[in-house]
Each structure stands twice: as C-alpha cells, then as structure tokens.
Amino acid sequence: MAKGYLALVLHGHLPFVRHPEHEDSFEESWLYQAITEVYVPLLLVLDSLVDDKVDFRLTFSLTPTLVSMLTDPFLQSRYLQRLERLIELSEKEVARTNWQPKFQALAAMYCKQFKGVRSAFLDRYNGNLVEAFRRLQELGKLEIIASAATHGYLPVLSIHPSAVRSQIQVGVEHYAATFGRKPNGFWLPECGYYPGVDQLLTDHAIRFTILETHGITRAQPRPRYGVHAPLRCPSGLAAFGRDPGSSRQVWSAAEGYPADHDYREFYRDIAHDLDFDSLRRYVHRDGLRINTGIKYYRITGKTESKQVYVPQQAEKKAETHAEHFLRSREGQIESLASVMDRKPILVAPYDAELFGHWWYEGPLWLNHMIRKLARDPSSIHLATLSEYLAECPALQPAAPPMCSWGRNGFNEVWLSPDNQWIYPHLYHAARVLERLEQECSRGDALTLRALDQAKRELLLAQSSDWAFMISTRTTSEYANTRIKGHLLNFNRLSDQVARSNIDEPWLAEVESRDCIFPADVLRPGTGSVLPSEMDKEEDSERSRKPLSA
C-alpha cells in the first residue's frame, strides 16, 4: 500500500515558430531539435514501458502552440528534410573520425540514434506525435493537461480579463478538439497565478492547476500541509504546489543531476568545434552555427579541457541518480506520512525540454526511475493529479497569492524595464478586440475571418516567450520582431474590420502564415467559417498521403 504519491509533471512547450517565408529558419530548429532529442525519445521510453507492461503514471502538458506545430504537415515535412541532413552529417562524422575510435563510436551512436528517430517518427508514429501522446492518455498512463492558447503570461495580462479569458478559452477548446475530451487540469504558463484566475479556470470546468512552492506556502490561511496536499482556491479549483526538494534535484543547473560530470556537455556541439567548410551544408543558410545535436564531450568539471563522453558511464550514472531520486522521495514520504492524516503528494514539474535536450540522459533517467519503482516494493507510487484528487478530495480552502516560477518567484522576468513597452500595446489591442467582437459578432463571413485573424495575431503577440527572450537577452531581436509584426497585423486587421474595408488577398496571406487555431476553436459554438473548413479538407487530403522524407 502506498504511503504517498509522486506526481511527475512534464511541461511541453515551444512558441509558435513557423516560417514558410524563409527557406531555412533558425527558430524552427528549436522545434526540430526538440522532436529529435525530446519528444520522440520520451515517447519511445513511455511506449517501451507500456510494451513491457510496466505500470506508470505521468502528467504531461502539451501547449496549443506545440500541438499546432507537431500536427502541421508543412513543419513535419521540413522536419524530415532536416533529419535527413542530420543523418547525412552523422554518417560523414563516422567517416571523418575513422582515426579516432572514441569519437567514431560516438558518431556511430548518433547516426544510429537519428536513424532510430526517423524510423519511429515515420513508421511508428506516422508523423503524428500528438496522436502518440493521446493514445497513452487513452491507456490511462498519461494525463494530458491543457494550457493557455499561446502561453500568455496571465498575471500581467490580467489588467484585461478578456485577454486572460481568451487565452484560457482557446486553450481549453484546442485541447478538446485535439484530444476528444475536456481537460481536468490546466498548466498556467510559467506557473503564473494571480487571485481571480482560479475563477476563470473554474468557469471552463478546470479542476486543478500547479503552482510554484510559495504560491501554496504563502496562501491565506496558512496551509496545514505545505505543498504536500493541494489547496482549494476560492473558486473551488484545486492548486497543487511544486515540491522544492524533487525540483531542485533534477532541475537546478548548479546542483541538480544534469550537472554531473559524466553527463554530456550541452555546449560543446560540433557546430562550434568543426571548421565552417565541413559544416556549411548543415548549419543555417546565413552561416549561423546552429547546434547539430552531435556532441562528443562530457561535462568533466569547471574546465575548458573537456573529456570525451562515455555513454555507458553516463547511463550508469543516470541509473544511480534514478535510484537516489527514488530513495530521497521515499524518505520524504515516510517522514510526511508520519505527520499527515492523509497521503502526502510530491508534485515534481519540469520543462519537458529538459529531458533529452538540455539533459541528454533525462529520458534514460526517467526510464530507470519508473522501472525501479515498478520493480521494487516502495512506499511511494506514481499518480496523476486527477487520481490524487479522486482519492483525497477533501482540501483545505485557502487563497494563493500572485506567484510564478520565474526568477525571484513573481513577475519580474515578464515585466521588466526591457520588455515593459509590450504591455500598453497588448492592453490597447485587447480593448479594441473586445469592442470589435461585441460590435461585429454578427458580421459577414469575411468580417468574421478578419476578426478571427486579428484574434490569432493578438494571441501570438501575447506569448510569454517573447517577453522572456527580451528579458534574458536571448534572441531578443527575433522576439521584438515577432511582437511588433503581430501587433502591426492586428492593428491593420482591426482597422479594416472597423471600416468594413477588408483587404481579402492580404488577409489570406496572413492567414496562411499565422495559421494557428481553426475558427471553431477561436469561436466555439458559432460553427466554422472558411479557414477551418478549408483546413479540414486539406487535412483529410494530407492524411491520405503517406509522409515521406
């Protein structure tokens, strides 16, 4: 009998990066790297657990932007082209390192791995990774939770409740359209909570969310069990809190497992080590040395003189760390169970992209951890958050405060002197959209199309990723351009709607570029208008064509 539960939560998210206007897009490579290094490896681990009849539970959030990209035939096709080039590069590396056996073994490992990913992507998943996740949910192994439409940072958008409502409503509708059921849980982007958002989530029949530790510990009244039992927010929403111990062990770049010296060094990619001529065909067209995913060194320590990566050693370490993680959690649960009158829960949320991308051995660690838990008797069992609530539905009512999982725990990452300029425009656009939606809700098909596209543009401008990039000064120029581009499109569209003077050819162009969310997701219950019907036809056409490289 379990004395307590461990809920692993993986948050899968990438901003919407789709650039058909560029032959080679640097930003799209974020998606392609994540497919190769994260989503396919994780799915293969989870599928192998199912095949081996290992029982497990996992919570996964897949944001609408990520789902939209993973199901986009254009991006799927481009991904395969990119993967082919990567396989070609790895084959060349096998030949190039002929005189260096240690490096050649690694090159061969990558070559085999990339071919395995291609085979899984094409044959096992038929290009549709979302369907693979959905199937795991149907098997009861995975609970997929919803998230905001474009990962808008809700505490700062809350000045206009209509903006928050829109992020939540589109996120929930997109989930229902994708997974064929309504979500129980909702991942608040960046764990950004503010008093009042619980009611908006409850209005959409959401039952639970997850907060950073201090969102629970600083709730009013003081929680009796800290983060080890969820709270009942004023609206009735259950709020789970992140367990600081399990988070730090896996997550912390300084003291967490991924920093172990035997693990693969993320920053020593051959894109930066080899001469440019040998890489020309495999890096960005403009000469940008984008990471290839082929890395030969291990972390080694705080030194520039890195040692060669030894996969067997790293796998052994992943197994040791899995064992350590479990023993630590068991100790926690034993201690908590002795002072709690209900079964404690440890909620451990991580960015999914940590597993495989930043932490190459992350999927291995997960595999070992789940198998060990299933094999050895333990006081701790895996659970989804819905299962925990079904077993322990009596919650302490308390009101969590504003909080996030960003630096210092509040809003400063997404609202700083560097990125504050975004918000007056977002607030103004939210006001305009709200007014137009009231005035033009019974407009003709063309007006509704323009209004839908204006909504898409505003949602895309609201992504928390842009403010994050500006604040952390990583690809901030791209972030600036994206925000301004979407706001410009919004202004032009809203102006055309207000004047009943819609430029249809230009509208069609913008629709084809920023083609996220079909109309029936944007305006549920009103029936689809042109784009979604067209999308459906195109989709059925595409579904008849086999994916190929």
Residues 254-283 that bind other proteins (CB under 8 A): 258
- When the beta carbons of 326 and 547 are compared against other proteins, the nearer one is 326
Sole binder of other proteins in the list 118, 174, 232, 268 (CB under 8 A): 232
537 binding other proteins? (CB under 8 A): no
- When the beta carbons of 107 and 395 are compared against other proteins, the nearer one is 395
Beta carbons of 318 and 368 less than 8 angstroms apart: yes
Interaction mask 421-440, other proteins, x per CB under 8 A: --xxx-xx--xx--------
Beta carbons of 520 and 532 less than 8 angstroms apart: yes
156 binding other proteins? (CB under 8 A): yes
126 binding other proteins? (CB under 8 A): no
Structure tokens, 148:
């905001």
Which residues, 82 to 121, sit near other proteins by CB under 8 A?
none
Of the chain, the end-to-end C-alpha distance in Å amounts to 49
Structure tokens, 154:
């809700």
- Nearest approach in angstroms of CB 380 to other proteins is 9
Interface segment toward other proteins; rule CB under 8 A; list 76-84, 113-121, 227-235, 436-444: 227-235
- When the beta carbons of 129 and 373 are compared against other proteins, the nearer one is 373
Sole binder of other proteins in the list 36, 61, 76, 247 (CB under 8 A): 247
- When the beta carbons of 21 and 304 are compared against other proteins, the nearer one is 21
Residue 489 CB-density burial (10 A; 0-12 exposed, 13-18 middle, 19+ buried)? buried
Beta carbons of 530 and 38 less than 8 angstroms apart: no
Q: Look at residue 424 and give its three-state secondary structure.
A: helix
Beta carbons of 259 and 1 less than 8 angstroms apart: no
Beta carbons of 105 and 24 less than 8 angstroms apart: no
394 binding other proteins? (CB under 8 A): yes
CA–CA distance, 494 with 492 (Å, rounded to integer): 6
What DSSP string runs through 141-175?
Answer: SEEEEEE-TT-B-HHHHTTSHHHHHHHHHHHHHHH
- When the beta carbons of 123 and 255 are compared against other proteins, the nearer one is 255
Sole binder of other proteins in the list 181, 272, 285, 324 (CB under 8 A): 181
Sign of the CA dihedral 298, 302, 306, 308?
Answer: negative
Please name which of 287, 256, 250, 255 lies closest in space to residue 271, comparing C-alpha atoms: 287
β-strands 208-211, 142-147 pairing: unpaired
Interface segment toward other proteins; rule CB under 8 A; list 82-90, 121-129, 136-144, 537-545: 136-144
- When the beta carbons of 71 and 379 are compared against other proteins, the nearer one is 379
CA–CA distance, 398 with 103 (Å, rounded to integer): 56
Can you list the alpha helix ranges (DSSP code H) found in 127-253? 129-138, 154-157, 161-179, 197-203, 213-217, 244-251
In this structure, how many other beta carbons lie within 10 angstroms of the beta carbon of residue 127? Answer: 19
412 binding other proteins? (CB under 8 A): yes
- Nearest approach in angstroms of CB 373 to other proteins is 9
28 binding other proteins? (CB under 8 A): no
377 binding other proteins? (CB under 8 A): no
Sole binder of other proteins in the list 48, 98, 252, 543 (CB under 8 A): 252
Sole binder of other proteins in the list 189, 223, 293, 349 (CB under 8 A): 223
- DSSP assigned state of 93: H
478 binding other proteins? (CB under 8 A): no
- Nearest approach in angstroms of CB 255 to other proteins is 9
- When the beta carbons of 127 and 183 are compared against other proteins, the nearer one is 183
Interface segment toward other proteins; rule CB under 8 A; list 69-77, 277-285, 417-425, 505-513: 417-425
The residue with tokens 């693990």 is 263
- Nearest approach in angstroms of CB 318 to other proteins is 17
Beta carbons of 518 and 532 less than 8 angstroms apart: yes
463 binding other proteins? (CB under 8 A): no
Sole binder of other proteins in the list 73, 401, 443, 524 (CB under 8 A): 401
216 binding other proteins? (CB under 8 A): yes
- Nearest approach in angstroms of CB 386 to other proteins is 5
- Nearest approach in angstroms of CB 181 to other proteins is 6
498 binding other proteins? (CB under 8 A): no
Interface segment toward other proteins; rule CB under 8 A; list 70-78, 96-104, 176-184, 269-277: 176-184
Interface segment toward other proteins; rule CB under 8 A; list 166-174, 221-229, 504-512, 536-544: 221-229
Sign of the CA dihedral 252, 256, 260, 263?
Answer: negative
484 binding other proteins? (CB under 8 A): yes
393 binding other proteins? (CB under 8 A): yes
- Measure the CA angle with vertex 229, ends 223 and 230; round to 5°: 85
Interface segment toward other proteins; rule CB under 8 A; list 62-70, 108-116, 382-390, 527-535: 382-390
Under 8 Å CB-to-CB from 269, ≥6 apart: which residues? Answer: 291, 292, 293, 294, 295
**Which amino acid would we find at residue 131?**
E
Under 8 Å CB-to-CB from 209, ≥6 apart: which residues? Answer: 185, 186, 187, 188, 193, 198, 201, 237, 238, 239, 240
Which residues, 314 to 373, sit near other proteins by CB under 8 A?
336, 338-342, 350-351, 353-354, 358-359
226 binding other proteins? (CB under 8 A): yes
Structure tokens, 31:
């998606």
* Size of site (CB under 8 A) for other proteins: 110
- Nearest approach in angstroms of CB 408 to other proteins is 5
Which residues, 53 to 72, sit near other proteins by CB under 8 A?
55-57
485 binding other proteins? (CB under 8 A): yes
SS3 string, 35-61, reads: HHHHHHHHHHHHHHHHHCCCCCCEEEE
